[in-house]
Amino acid sequence: MIEPQQQWTETIESNNSIFDLKLKEVWRYKDLVYMFVKRDFVSSFKQTILGPLWFFINPIFTTIVFVFVFGSIAKLSTDGIPQVLFYLAGITLWNYFSSCLTGTSNIFTANASIFGKVYFPRLVMPITIVISNLMKFGVQFILFLGVWIFYLSKGSIQPNIWILATPFLIILMAIFALGVGMIFSALTTKYRDLQMLLAFGVSLMMYATPVIYPVSSISGVWKKLAYYNPLTGIFECFKYGWMGSGEFTVEMLLFSTGIILLLLVIGTVTFNKVEKSFMDTV
């Protein structure tokens, strides 16, 4: 005897679109974002001797190494920009991007214990990482600004109107790291080894980005590949605006903007699909 098919009287399912960033809901949890940002900032200096000075020590020592290795030994071009300022600019931007990307990429696995106990918009966590790293970027940017003022007073650089694009460039970097980070955070719920692959990939990507060299110093197929890197337009625009030198075009920045927005859409869709069931696989 065939049993009659059951008819459900109530069905519980999400009514949110996979394209929805839930920004209104995130705004209602702004106090939680503030608490997480404060936690990340304070925990960075807990049980340390030098505290916030580490934000200055890292770029200073990295710049010294770059000047010695890439400037003195390899003798890479800096487009006429003083080596210290050129490398410090690249390091300051790169540190912010890489920190946001690596921090966002393991959101689900690193916060599974919190997600399993209480509800809040999952997008709070990647936004927290972007904001907390923005504060660290601000500290390092003060160092860059001091060195920039020194060389400006000597007449070694000639900034131009593109310096005003700096906030837009920082937002683009944050969105790029957020989009790619959300894609990897969704994938690492099933494939944990992608975290190691990403860490390795971020290290290699620095050499594919004009951090230690200007785009004008490369040619042929390598130059074409550099243009396909969304970070190229951002880094070249920043150096061109602040130091008045570099191979920058508006088309380069528009291309970077388009690719980054596309990655944000893909990351949002992937993140929203996985957040509904990630506790089953994490």
- Kindly list the domain boundaries of the chain, sorted by start residue: 23-280
**Nearest-angstrom CA–CA distance, 64 and 78:** 15
Distances (CA, A) of 98 to 73, 74, 79: 26, 24, 25
**Nearest-angstrom CA–CA distance, 135 and 85:** 21
pLDDT bin (cut points 50, 70, 90) of residue 12 is very low
pLDDT of residue 56: 85
pTM given for the model: 0.86
pLDDT of residue 2: 55
pLDDT of 99 higher than 60: yes
**Nearest-angstrom CA–CA distance, 249 and 237:** 8
Residues 6+ apart with CB under 8 A from 10: none
